Amino acid sequence: MRLDLVKGFHTLVADFAATAEGYLDDCVAGNMGDGDASCGKFLTFSRFFQQGTHLLANHRPTRPSPTFPILINSPPPSLTDSRSPMSAANATPAPLSRRFSVAPMMDWTDRHCRFFLRLLSKNALLYTEMVTTGALLNGDHDRFLRHNEAEHPLALQLGGSVPLDLAACARMAQEHGYDEVNLNVGCPSDRVQNNMIGACLMGHPQLVADCVKAMRDAVSIPVTVKHRIGINGRDSYEELCDFVDTVRDAGCTSFTVHARIAILEGLSPKENRDIPPLRYDVAARLKADFPELEIILNGGIKTLEACHEHLQTFDGVMLGREAYHNPYVMAEVDQQLFGSTAPVISRAEALAQLRPYIAAHIDAGGSMHHITRHVLGLGTGFPGARKFRQLLSVDIHKAKDPLALLDQAAALLEGR
């Protein structure tokens, strides 16, 4: 192999390592904060992968760089791991319904998080983090698409705006068993804007329609769109209707509406989830004007009472931050919103059911923290909750026997 190629690749690996280190720091810090920083890092990852792949296109190393196995979590045995005890317990997944869903959240709704949330509700539709078409087409797509059978019903969210690429990725989603593929037209991050991904696409309804058509032509699973009610400079109700109308004409029948506009310049993604006011009235007007479409409401929903109320108007509700920070809100979803007669799982039982999954992950070389960082929210609102969070977010990094620490934390949930 030529020396300049080797050097070029080494530089990329060093950059990658620096970025990965930042990402791992976030994980180690139990990132309960802003997933957008990681969103950027994630996109940077894909770019490094892409560049590295191009560099090595004609010069495959005879053995992999030693850096990668250290940086990337050891993968579990298979893409869709049907050996987990949970998959057996959940052999027949609930049918896909969008009555209640958990939002796609970068760095948060990874496969471990989804596995955990599934223990709390069998019916909630779960979304992956957004995966860009670039990452899927040029990166290790098996790694991005990997999930456990128990996670169904499960939707993959894609970020992109090239119809052919989106079609190819939708096909991958279907081949890997996803129940739905969703197009992100809501993310306001600068980085994705520069790649014509996310909320900026609200200014290009015909392009979104072309993307949806290409995806629908490629797969038989449903293709849905998650969007805002507008973007700055294009935030009138007429423009929103024009967007929905155009995309509907391409065959999309289900729209998840984050009921606030995105301000594409001057606000961070985090601010864009809080500062523009929620306009449930605008989303409700949309439902009234497009009664034949499935309209799912998203943004600021925190309780099952609020879900009940919104379901008088909308076809479904999607919860993001509340489902993550207070996951136990999901425990009564099956009974209250789907008429299930199964008993409501306790916090203690949910953690007990998660234990074999954690043990298998550790056996495969993974760290317990990859999973337990998503369960910290179980520790809210009862005496001992703080200790629970401390064990799993601080003490965990010193623990020699992580499962013993888990059991110690689990004991604090007894009777809850």
Ligand X SMILES: Cc1cc2nc3c(=O)[nH]c(=O)nc-3n(C[C@H](O)[C@H](O)[C@H](O)COP(=O)(O)O)c2cc1C
Footprint of ligand X (CB under 6 A): 35, 103-108, 129-130, 157, 184, 186-187, 226, 258, 273, 298-301, 319-322
Which residue, 87 or 298, has its beta carbon nearer to ligand X? 298
* Cα–Cα distance, 370 to 362 (Å, whole number): 10
> Which backbone phi and psi does 377 adopt, to 5 degrees?
-65, -15
Across the strands, what pairs with 412? none
Q: Answer for the pair 160, 211: CB distance below 8 angstroms, yes or no.
A: yes
Which residue, 186 or 402, has its beta carbon nearer to ligand X? 186
Across the strands, what pairs with 298? 258, 318
From the CB of 225, what's the least distance to ligand X, in Å? 10
From the CB of 304, what's the least distance to ligand X, in Å? 13
Residue 187: active-site member: yes
Concatenated DSSP letters of 44-61:
HHHHHHHHHHHHTTT---
Q: How distant is the alpha carbon of residue 127 from its chain centre? A: 5
Query: What string of H, E and C letters represents the secondary structure of 296-353?
Result: EEECCCCCHHHHHHHCCCCCEEEECHHHHHCHHHHCCHHHHHHCCCCCCCCHHHHHHH
From the CB of 348, what's the least distance to ligand X, in Å? 26
Give the number of other Cβ atoms within 10 Å of residue 250's Cβ.
20
From the CB of 197, what's the least distance to ligand X, in Å? 10
Which is catalytic among the residues 187, 200, 211, 252?
187
Which residue, 9 or 108, has its beta carbon nearer to ligand X? 108
Q: Answer for the pair 126, 111: CB distance below 8 angstroms, yes or no.
A: no
Helix, strand and coil content of the chain, in percent to the nearest 5, comes to 50, 10, 35
Q: Comparing C-alpha atoms, which of 124, 298, 383, 49 is closest to residue 113?
A: 124
CB neighbour class for 55 (10 Å; exposed up to 12, middle 13-18, buried from 19):
middle
Which residue, 121 or 157, has its beta carbon nearer to ligand X? 157
Which residue, 187 or 286, has its beta carbon nearer to ligand X? 187
From the CB of 43, what's the least distance to ligand X, in Å? 11
From the CB of 242, what's the least distance to ligand X, in Å? 21
Which residue, 107 or 294, has its beta carbon nearer to ligand X? 107
Q: How distant is the alpha carbon of residue 203 from its chain centre? A: 24
Q: Comparing C-alpha atoms, which of 43, 208, 260 is closest to residue 135?
A: 43
Across the strands, what pairs with 155? 127, 180
From the CB of 329, what's the least distance to ligand X, in Å? 11
Which residue, 226 or 361, has its beta carbon nearer to ligand X? 226
From the CB of 209, what's the least distance to ligand X, in Å? 19
Which residue, 103 or 283, has its beta carbon nearer to ligand X? 103
Bond preceding residue 402 cis, omega within 30 of 0: no
Question: How many residues in the chain?
Answer: 416
* Token representation of residue 318: 């999607």
Torsion sign across C-alpha atoms 270, 378, 110, 205: negative
Q: Answer for the pair 172, 241: CB distance below 8 angstroms, yes or no.
A: no
Report the catalytic residues.
187
